[in-house]
Amino acid sequence: MNITNRFLKYVTFLTTSDENTGMNPSTPGQMVFAQYLAKELEAIGLKEIDLDKNGYLMATLPANTTEDIPVIGFIAHMDTSPDASGKHVTPHIVENYQGNDILLNDEEAIVLETEKYPEILQYKGQDIIVTNGKTLLGADDKAGIAEIVSAMEYLVAHPEIKHGKIRIGFTPDEEIGQGADHFDVKKFGAAWAYTMDGGEIGELEFENFNAASAKITFNGLNVHPGYAKHKMRNSMRIAYQFANMLPRHETPEHTEHYEGFYHMTSMQGTVEETVLTYIIRDHDRARFESRKKELQHLTNKINAEFGPGTAILELKDQYYNMREKIEPVMYVVELAKQAMIATGVTPKVKPIRGGTDGARLSFEGLPCPNIFAGGHNFHGRFEYLPVQSMQKAMEVIISIVSILADKHKELCN
């Protein structure tokens, strides 16, 4: 099966994750997809195929040389984001794209406009997979899975390409921050790995946000509004006051590159109780800790003004910047750079304004930089995937294992 058809098959599986179910994996469609992938991996000749009860799928391409080459891995996630519908994904391919706006849905006049998404213009002359304007596409991260599986299939069919033992892993629930929760690093048994979960062609990332979540509960007191003077305490107004005390321009829509932010993700309230939820992000660990302290400081100010227990803050760290775990083994990044250059791809080394499974896995002993999967506009109906970018990602995987086999002594010293 060619890589395009493989990807188009994968997106037919409904694998939207859901943080509210309390299950592992969080939705049953992910296990259905994992079972399909397990059969496919067996069919192409992989060994040691293991699908556990939590939906984690691992497999091995055995070494075809007796040389002592480090075991490496490639990882991608099976779920798609709950930010947009992943049900009844109906993609189509715009062949030989000519730089025009793309009509995604004639009936509802949904158009992917080049003025809003100018990055698409760099793919003139290529074939681009788009949505029907009603769902996300699922390139995040089914493109990564297709690239890994297709690369393994190619290596099986071309035994003349020398390589060491290769491990692959497909995880559930990455989009809800749980992708590494039950990943068994020891069982995976690789010296390092790469997540195929980046964006546009050439992306190579070994640093990401430090991340935390915050929940602030504001307790009020309801009294009949006609008799409320000096008695009512409106929790929604107090929550609004709290939100306005945060730096106005330290939000996602005002930041880029290494700039961190506070991001309110939900607000629910009545006079009696209001709950605000935030995510806190910063690449710099000291600034990250400072942001958490600021939330506590503002909580204390609210309680000083309105009384103890008016605001209750719950903070939870989610993941940290993997840079500190990658820097001691920078040869794993250098190998990926060399592989990209060898396949005609210009490396674009940049920080992730987000996180991947690899961030947490790096702190669990599996250094894990992130490589492009090729898509754009993830998590929404304007998501698209250039076919040629997906093919190049597959070639980069093949190039990584080939270069490592030839230069492992030089690279790893």
- Those residues whose C-beta lies under 8 Å from the C-beta of residue 374, and which sit 6 or more positions away, are 139, 143, 147, 199, 200, 201, 385, 386, 389, 390, 392, 393
C-alpha closest to that of 172 among 23, 59, 62, 277: 23
141 & 30 share domain: yes
pLDDT at residue 67 above 80? yes
12 & 112 share domain: yes
pLDDT at residue 154 above 80? yes
Per-residue burial over 23-35, b if 16 or more Cβ lie within 10 Å, else e, is ebbbbebbbbbbe
Per-residue pLDDT tens for 332-379?
999 999 999 999 999 999 898 877 788 899 999 999 999 999 999 999
315 & 360 share domain: no
What is the per-residue DSSP string for 243-284?
HHHS-TT-SGGG--TT--EEEEEEEEE-SSEEEEEEEEEESS
146 & 247 share domain: no
Read off the pLDDT band of 187 (50, 70, 90). very high
167 & 274 share domain: no
What is the per-residue DSSP string for 14-25?
--B--TTS--SS
- Those residues whose C-beta lies under 8 Å from the C-beta of residue 224, and which sit 6 or more positions away, are none
Read off the pLDDT band of 242 (50, 70, 90). very high
Number of domains in the chain: 2
Other beta carbons within 10 angstroms of residue 290's beta carbon come to: 13
Q: Report d(CA 196, CA 40) in Å as an integer.
A: 19
392 & 305 share domain: no
220 & 190 share domain: no
254 & 340 share domain: no
Three-class DSSP labels, 302-329: HHHHHCCCCEEEEEEEEECCCHHHHHHH
> Which two three-digit tokens encode residue 219?
């307790």
Per-residue pLDDT tens for 44-56?
999 999 999 999 9
Q: What is the structure's pLDDT at 1?
A: 82
State which amino acid sits at residue 214.
A
Residue where a domain terminates, one of 291, 319, 347: 319
In contact, 33 and 89? CB cutoff 8 Å: no
Residue 226 structural domain: 210-319
Per-residue pLDDT tens for 92-137?
999 999 999 999 999 999 999 999 999 999 999 999 999 999 999 9
Mean pLDDT of 258-274: 95
Residue 231 in 3-state DSSP? Answer: coil
- Assign residue 375 the CATH number of its domain: 3.40.630.10
151 & 297 share domain: no
Q: Report d(CA 333, CA 336) in Å as an integer.
A: 5
- Assign residue 252 the CATH number of its domain: 3.30.70.360
199 & 255 share domain: no
17 & 71 share domain: yes
Q: What is the structure's pLDDT at 153?
A: 98
Q: Report d(CA 343, CA 402) in Å as an integer.
A: 12
Cα→Cα distances 113→110, 189, 238, 266, 313, Å: 9, 45, 41, 29, 42
Residue where a domain terminates, one of 263, 291, 319: 319
Residue where a domain terminates, one of 265, 296, 319: 319
134 & 256 share domain: no
C-alpha closest to that of 291 among 213, 239, 237, 218: 213
pTM of the model: 0.89
pLDDT at residue 409 above 90? no
In contact, 175 and 77? CB cutoff 8 Å: yes
β-partners of residue 128 are: 94, 386
Which residues are designated catalytic?
79, 174
